[in-house]
Amino acid sequence: MHNVRVPAQTWSIAELAAEYDVTLRTIRFYEDRGLLTPERRGTVRVYHPRDRVRLGLILRGKRLGFSLDEIATIVDMYDAEPGEEGQLVYLLDQITTRRADLEQRRRDIEETLRELNEVEARCRADLQALRDRQPSRGRQTAKAVGRRADS
Amino acid sequence: MHNVRVPAQTWSIAELAAEYDVTLRTIRFYEDRGLLTPERRGTVRVYHPRDRVRLGLILRGKRLGFSLDEIATIVDMYDAEPGEEGQLVYLLDQITTRRADLEQRRRDIEETLRELNEVEARCRADLQALRDRQPSRGRQTAKAVGRRADS
DNA sequence: CTCGTACTTGACGCTTACGTAAACGTAAAG
DNA sequence: CTTTACGTTTACGTAAGCGTCAAGTACGAG
């Protein structure tokens, strides 16, 4: 089985906080919400690789705009034990839901990016026109008409 | 110029709310935050196509997890008048920032989708194994080991 | 022993994005 | 006139996601 027995590194709360650029308060808050479950040595928290990975997932979830509750269900999917059939079916259902959600977001993002490109093009054109025409004073151009969102 | 003079439809607050499936409260709140500026006929709000488009943009922004403040800057970009050079340069800068943000989100989403696919595959495999082996009772399989996020 | 550093648990505060009444206006229908 | 539908403002409530003290514990260095 080639079991290499890597020392299984651990981290303090401050180390994790520094690495992921969050505050101690935040990490403790996530624990309070059941998203992290560090070991306790006496009163002190000791974070294992598992916790570290989960923190990464949590923060990615946050970047995606999920609520902590949603993140909880997602993260728990990642390291769920196989369990019984009902559990597995439920998990598959959750996956379907999440995927639909993410694909909607992706469509939104791509649409927004396309529109940003248009706005940028208009912007550059205006800038160019402005510089061609009047190197010092600005003036309203006729091309500016009809660009507002009132079509 | 082929100016067709379309009647320029308007909507009541309830109509917009129904169409976009939000509450009246929400729409009024967006107005309070300066995101919408409907016409007033007496005391009553009258929404024009421009407002309708903006509401759509706002809601898409929300789906993407932006705050209303962020959404405000985005939406205002869409129907900004050309203005002076400084304005244009600022706008281009904003566009760059937003684009970077959105592209980060897209990467996050794609990574998450890939991982969801993996989880799903494992899940289906477990389910299959469970059904092959024990059509009635569930049992823990050896393949279940080492899947948790503690690698 | 004292200091410094890192950690702990409360507990209160704050912002965002609305929900939820309460109380009132207006205009058409019965 | 009363009801009904639809709209209005004002204002307090709330859940999420932390920030920010305050006060105490634990431990190695000097």
The Cα-based distances of B82 to A23, A96, A102, B111 in angstroms read 42, 44, 35, 38
B63 and B120 assigned to the same domain? no
pLDDT confidence band for B3 (50 / 70 / 90): low
pLDDT score at B6: 60
Instruction: Please indicate, yes or no, whether residues A36 and A65 belong to a single structural domain of this protein.
Output: yes
Q: A60 and A108: one domain?
A: no
Point out the domain boundary residue: B79, B100, B121. Answer: B79
Residue B88 has its nearest CB partner, among A104, A105, A127, at: A127
Question: What CATH number did the domain enclosing B47 receive?
Answer: 1.10.1660.10
- Number of domains chain B contains: 2
Percent of chain B with pLDDT over 70: 83
pLDDT for the residue numbered B135 = 64
Say what the pLDDT of residue B87 is: 84
The tokens describing A7, both together, are 């020392």
CA distances from residue B145 to A84, B33, B59, B67, B140 in whole angstroms, order as listed:
15, 52, 43, 41, 10
The pLDDT assigned to B144 comes to 40
| Average pLDDT score over chain B | 84
The pLDDT, as a whole number, for residue B108 is 92
Distance from CA of B132 to the nearest CA of A (A): 12
- Residue range A98-105: average pLDDT? 90
Distance CA A47, CA A132 (A): 61
> Residue B2's pLDDT band (boundaries 50, 70, 90)?
low
Is pLDDT at A28 greater than 60 in this prediction? yes
pLDDT at B149 over 90: no
Axis-axis angle for helices B85-133, A68-78 (nearest 10): 40
- Domain identity same for B72 and B97: no
- Kindly state the average pLDDT of the residues A80-105: 86
The answer to whether residue B149 is domain-embedded is no
Residue B141 lies in a domain: no
Is A15 in the same domain as A71?
A: yes
- Residue A4 covered by a domain: no
Residues of B in contact with A85 (CB under 8 A): 127, 130-131, 138
Query: Residue A106 falls within a domain, yes or no?
Result: yes
Q: Is residue A29 part of a domain?
A: yes
- pLDDT at residue B133 in the model: 76
Own/partner contacts of B14-22, CB < 8 Å, gap of 24 or more, are B15/B47, B16/B47, B16/B51, B16/B52, B16/B55, B20/B55, B20/B56, B20/B59, B22/B55, B22/B59
Instruction: Residue window 4-63, chain A: list those with CB within 8 Å of chain B.
Output: 48-50, 53-54, 57, 60, 63
Q: Is the CB of A29 under 7 A from strand D?
A: yes
* Claim to verify: residue B13 and residue B43 sit in the same structural domain: yes
Over 90: is that where the pLDDT of A110 sits? yes
pLDDT at A73: 87
CA-based nearest residue in chain A for residue B122: A82
Look at residue B145 and tell me if it is in a domain. Answer: no
- Test B116 with A138 for CB contact under 8 angstroms: no
Percent over 90 (pLDDT), chain A: 48
B19 and B66 in a single domain? The answer is yes
Q: What mean pLDDT is predicted for residues A17-38?
A: 94
Confidence at B99, pLDDT banded by 50, 70, 90: very high
Q: Are residues B13 and B74 in the same domain?
A: yes
The amino acid that residue A9 corresponds to is Q
Residues 6 or more apart whose CB falls under 8 angstroms from that of A145 comprise none
Last residue of a domain, one of A63, A79, A95: A79
Residues A68-81 pLDDT 10s: 998 998 898 887 77
A149 part of a folded domain: no
Model pLDDT, residue A6 = 60
The pLDDT score that the predictor gives to residue B91 is 87
Give me the phi and psi of B45, to 5 degrees please: -85, 135
φ/ψ of B5, rounded to 5, equals 55, 60
Task: Using the C1' atom of nucleotide C16, identify the protein residue whose alpha carbon is closest.
Answer: B67
Domain co-membership, A70 together with A108: no
Picking from B37, B64, B79, the residue at the C-terminal end of a domain is B79
Residues B58, B35, single domain; the answer is yes
B45-65 pLDDT tens trace: 999 999 999 999 999 999 888
Whole domain around residue B103: which residue ranges?
Answer: 84-134
Rounded to an integer, the average pLDDT of B33-56 is 93
Shortest CB distance from A63 goes to which of B53, B95, B108?
Answer: B108
Flag whether A145 is in a domain.
Answer: no
pLDDT digits (tens, 9 = 90+) for A136-149: 554 444 444 445 44
Proportion of chain B above pLDDT 90, given as a percent: 49
Mean pLDDT of B20-29: 95
Residues B120 and B67 both lie in one domain: no
Do B33 and B60 reside in the same domain of the chain?
Answer: yes
Q: Is residue B128 scored above 80 in pLDDT?
A: yes
Strand partners, B11: B47
